[in-house]
Amino acid sequence: MNDQAVATKSGTNLDYKDATWTLRTEKVFVYGTLRTHATNWMWTLRPQIGKSDVVHGYVMYNSPHGGFPIASPGKSHEYIIGEVFDVTEKMLAKLDQLEGFPHHYDRTLVTTENDDVVWIYFQKDASKLERIEGGDWLKHIGKPLFVYGTLKTRHTNWFHYMRPQIGKPAVIDGWTLYNANGTARMAPDNSGNAVVGEIFLIYPGAFDTLDPHEGYDKNRSKKLNIYNRIKVETMEGETVWVYVDETAHDYYPHYGNDWTEHICPKCGEQAKRVFNEKNFHVYAHELVGRTATVWCRVAK
């Protein structure tokens, strides 16, 4: 928006071209249901993505019914993990109402690990409640999801569904990766193949958003169900949710077991796959000892 404005009222021109309009904002540190992709974020802070941060001197406790966390002052070496958001005075008033300030929660200014001065909602004494070790609400309630395509860190759909979390590398063996017209799918096999991906912790309610994105209907009532969502054990021994397509054998196997690292089907060399303006897969090759790049085009 332009910082300059011209207003007209009753035929009179009011020239504000020399005025600079600034919107006053505050910073707030959130650590529970207001974190990115959590339930209350959806209708309050969305689409802003929180900036990961830590506040020291506080302890996290579980609410009596387990639906949300509570921060309470602790020792200097104790901490809680959350995110920082920029909010307007109007949004801060909305958060006050949501958090029940000043009757249910108190609110005070603290300095984060990244030196931001932020508001934090807390209760003075919650020590009778269950303590959440590690001070991370997402880690406490999150469900592990294995992703292997565009949901991987810093790829297209990660920005919309997973950010700011960074995925943890993992491998699932006994499965093959397929290229279904430009989308990654995995199906079981007995060939000794494996699929390279990442594990994210997902808020239970986030599956309500991810399931339709992946074409999965948990009630199996839709005519078109692209994926199924099942539990699988990774080679590292962790049980994770993963979206799979048992019919993916109808497609061509992907060149390699990592969707983000490609073998060029035209020349057989390792390549980085990107998209160009004509909607082709472009395989870029950095030539050894040269700065030039060779491009192989394969229709999408």
Residue 217: pLDDT band (50, 70, 90) is: confident
Main-chain dihedrals φ then ψ at residue 120, nearest 5 degrees: -135, 140
CA distance 107 to 101: 7
Q: pTM score > 0.75 for this model?
A: no
Residue 168: what are its φ and ψ, rounded to 5°? Answer: -100, 125
One fold for 25-139 and 142-253 = yes
Q: Distance from CA of residue 91 to its chain's centroid? A: 22
SS3 51: strand
Query: Which pLDDT does position 206 carry in this prediction?
Result: 86
What tokens appear for 199 in the block?
């594990």
DSSP state of 264: -
Phi, psi for 262 (deg, rounded to 5)? -120, 150
Nearest of 152, 192, 197, 186 to residue 174 by alpha carbon: 192
Q: In angstroms, rounded to a whole number, what is the distance separating the alpha carbons of residues 291 and 294?
A: 10
Mean pLDDT, residues 164-183 taken together: 89
* H/E segment holding residue 282: strand 280-286
Burial class (CB in 10 A: 0-12, 13-18, 19+), 266: middle
Sole residue written with tokens 């931001």: 116
The percentage of residues in the chain with a pLDDT greater than 90, rounded to a whole number, is 50
Other CB atoms within 10 Å distance of the CB of residue 103: 7
For 142-253, CATH gives: 3.10.490.10
Of 285 and 42, the structure prediction assigns the larger pLDDT to 42
Residue 295 reports pLDDT greater than 70: no
Q: Which pLDDT does position 10 carry in this prediction? A: 40
Give mean pLDDT, residues 24-37. Answer: 93
Segments making up each domain of the chain, as ranges? 25-139, 142-253, 262-299
Measured CA to CA in angstroms, residue 75 lies from 1, 13, 52, 78 at distances of 45, 60, 21, 5
When pLDDT is cut at 50, 70 and 90, the band that residue 22 belongs to is: low
25-139: which CATH number, 2.70.98.60, 3.40.50.720, 3.40.50.150, 3.10.490.10?
Answer: 3.10.490.10
Does residue 108 contact residue 120 with C-beta atoms inside 8 Å?
yes
Distance of CA 288 to the CA centre of its chain: 36
At 270 the pLDDT is: 53
